[in-house]
Structure 1
């Protein structure tokens, strides 16, 4: 079954969901790759991100790469996604036939840390960007209902659509020194699973896609391999999975995630957690020591210069 699902099952005609695709976090990594892939499949694409400059550059690049593509942009800072920002997004999306929403925007730690070492602003941003933005964007595209609970707009009224929420492999395991981030991504998966059951009878597919390692800025991985795809390769697989499983790791070698979770019962959970914590603590100390090493080296160079 896994071989069929990852290698032989045909992707759906995504244009049947609607005319437009909305992609958040659309100027880098997986979000940008999704924008290009959906445009290639014939959808009009609305790019949503924080930087106006990067939005303009990405839109220009996309139009150049996909002749005839319809591309629009919307500047949103999801760390400040308050009522006025949500109203602005709702107004922008209201006249559009939104078929697909890619909730891709996300934020992790700057590097592995104990939870108590995070700044208050980092704690707030991780919740806002990973959970609140996805929840509110989903609510916006679903549309409004009247006093009788009947749909007045959006996907609910059209009785079609697909909502894709980007989770993380960190949501599947206990993640010391990334505790809040992994918990936020676990919320993404549970929210998606619940909504998938609620909305399937209404013609709307909801799916959490769980990448493991991808060569993105947030993952801080530069070199691709068989188990670490580029965003473009990852998204080619991910787009074929839209409309199927409520939760999936789209990159084929990611099925090793399932195998490793089964084999993990051979060791006690606490032992695995201690080992993971030790590895991340070593990385954390290494990162924290780098500025001190640079400072000491600078002092040594000044001393040598004084002597000479």
Structure 2
């Protein structure tokens, strides 16, 4: 039996489609305005919300780059600082400089998180005991030495990435967070990566570790929110640092100083759809918004572009190694 439509039915269909198209357009406009507001206008929570002047901030991976900059900017905001990283001489020098410039107290612990020693975590527990730890910055991290296919990634490199990025972050947080819950205030910032937002070929283990931190951090945020403890995963794309091997910053690739300034100014501001995942630097925020809202980009396309980019980086790194080997 053939189905026929009269003029009235055609008008109803056209009207329905028009309303649907208008709703989609309005939603898209709302998401655009929401993104612009979050990236360029909306301020973050005040650091004073998490602890008074003279309370403490603990920063892991504090001897260089982003971690070192967190220490300086938190000290400038009148927090005493606990510095944790591998090299005692660097930590001692930074601690003395912070005390001189900002009149704060500092302590430091030289710890190699790759070793995963129980005695090191006992030292951290002893160090924080009795202190008002208002802020924890889980910054310590490790990536691959060069982009490498998973099947030929050295076993030790895989172990170090998982141990440093995941195990160390969880163990330090379990030591520090209970005090925050007792005091009913505190801030936990964990460094994330775009490699955790989109699967990144040739950095598979690193990408997986950052995806784990994203899920863990969002879950932890929901658990601790009733206790007044705020948890953010701080997501970044490229920052000029030792880990990224990028020396010069630009408008879209910030220096550690500019990145940390944005991170501390955008606490609790979210560009993407996942609560607790902050993308504070403006160009990174624009990229994050585009990945989630412009369907034409597509996950498969992003993975393909990432794969091609890291294959090129690997080729150049291997050629550099060859040239250096010939000089010896």
TM-score by length of 1: 0.87
Tell me which residue corresponds to 1:222.
Answer: 247
- Contact 2:39/2:286 (<8 A) preserved: no
Tell me which residue corresponds to 1:15.
Answer: 48
2: CA distance between counterparts of 1:42 and 1:268? 44
CA distance in 1, matches of 2:306, 2:89: 39
3-state DSSP class of the match of 1:224?
coil
1:209 is matched with which residue? 234
Q: What is the deviation of 1:134? A: 0.8
**Does 2:121 correspond to 1:121?**
no
CA–CA separation in structure 2 for the residues paired with 1:255 and 1:159: 30
Q: How does 1:260-279 map to 2 (within 5 A)?
A: 260-262=290-292, 265-266=295-296, 269-279=299-309
Q: Work out which of the residue numbers 85, 94, 97 in structure 1 matches 2:120.
A: 85
The answer to whether the 8 Å contact 1:162/1:242 transfers is no
Change beyond 3 A, Cα 1:265–1:13? closer
- For 2:294 and 2:315, locate their aligned partners in 1 and report how far apart those are by CA, in whole Å: 27
List gaps (5 residues or longer) in structure 1: 144-153, 300-308
Partner of 2:224: 199
Aligned partner of residue 131 in structure 2, secondary structure = coil
Aligned in 2, Cα 1:87/1:173: closer, same or farther, shift over 3 Å? Answer: same
Mapped to 1, the partners of 2:305 and 2:183 lie a distance apart of 50
Provide the secondary structure at the position in 1 that maps to 2:92.
helix
Does residue 133 in structure 1 map to residue 168 in structure 2? yes
TM-superposition CA deviations, 1:201-233 (whole Å, max 9, x none) = 111101100011111110111111111111111
Matches of 1:243 and 1:279, distance apart in 2: 32
> Unaligned regions of 5+ residues in structure 2, if any?
1-33, 271-275
1:153-204 per-residue CA deviation (whole Å, 9 max, x = no partner) reads: x112111111110001111112000011011011111111001111111111
Structure number, greater radius of gyration: 2
Residue 185 of structure 1 is matched in structure 2 by 210
When residues 253 and 112 of structure 1 are mapped into structure 2, their CA distance, relative to the original with a 3 A threshold, is same
Match of 1:242 in 2: 267
Q: Which moved more, 1:111-120 or 1:275-284?
A: 275-284
Report whether the alignment pairs 1:58 with 2:94: yes
- Per the alignment, residue 252 of structure 1 pairs with 282
Cα deviation 1:263-284 (Å, max 9, x = unaligned): 6632664454344323322321
Give the number of equivalent residue pairs: 287
For residues 263 and 200 of structure 1, the distance between their equivalents in structure 2, rounded to whole angstroms, comes to: 28
The aligned residue for residue 142 of structure 2 is 107
Separation in 2, partners of 1:207, 1:36:
20
Residue in 1 that maps onto 2:61: 25
Change in 2 beyond 3 A, CA 1:290/1:25: same
Distance 2:324 2:248 in 1: 26
